[in-house]
Amino acid sequence: MITEQIIGHFAGQANTYENLMEKLVPQYKKQHEIIYELLPENSDKQLRILDLGCGNGILSELVLKKLPNAFVVGFDLTPKMLEEYEENLSAYRGRYELMLGDYRFDSIGSSYDIVLAGLTLQHLTWGERKDFYKLIYSILNQNGSFILNDIIIDEDWDTRKFQYSSWMQFIAANGEDPEFWLDKHLTKDYPVTQEDHFQWLEQAGFAKMDCYWRYHNFAISMAIK
């Protein structure tokens, strides 16, 4: 039932997803710039990359533009989103494969050089996330990287309240209902602190990890196997 609700939620947003995200996520385009910078430089290697919760293909397109010999596996829960992906990335046909499923339960493949997760893992419970980090570690090749764009919560309660307040002001300033979106976030998402995030990555086996960008309760990190 929960999976069906999530599918319905994202299917209804597929055609207007990017426009909506710019209204809901502070510095949304800046986050994409940081992810682009974290991708390997001047690489002509035949890299295999997993785009988890790929949606309409916005991050996959960054990869395919920067890495000319990369092959992307786009994985998403929503058929409508994958239709949008194919339409948006039609120029790159032959360089990607799409997989429909729920990454909590279904196979997401293996032998990846990079795993991307853009604003998706907050939907996992804390227990699911700890186990999922172990799965990601297992499917990465040696020296592979896990790049995560995430909603986080601060360790300090007062800071956390300030960040949520700023986030809701941003949403309101863009003409959206902050109470509506805050309720969705609080009932459907399970954000974690950076401290827990890095601890769980270390427990999963990752040897090197860091936060490369943060703005209030949004952060981008990368871990290396």
- Percent of the chain residues topping a pLDDT of 90: 89
Shortest CA distance to 115 belongs to which of 173, 218, 213, 35?
A: 35
CA pair distance 222, 51, nearest whole angstrom: 14
80: CATH: 3.40.50.150
Which stretch of DSSP H or E encloses residue 100?
strand 96-100
Predicted pLDDT of residue 2: 42
What pLDDT score does 1 carry? 38
Please write the tens of the pLDDT for every residue from 41-91: 877 889 999 999 999 999 999 999 999 999 999 999 999 999 999 999 999
Alpha helices in the chain (DSSP H): 2-11, 17-24, 28-38, 58-66, 79-88, 126-139, 157-173, 178-188, 194-204
Pairing of strands 48-52, 140-151: unpaired
- pLDDT for position 15: 54
What is the tally of structural domains in the chain?
Answer: 1
How high is the pLDDT of residue 50? Answer: 99
Decide: pTM greater than 0.85. Answer: yes
Q: For a pLDDT cut of 70, what percent of the chain falls above it?
A: 93
Residue 121: CB atoms within 10 A of its CB come to 24
Low-confidence ranges of the chain (pLDDT < 70): 1-15
Q: Which domain holds residue 71?
A: 2-224
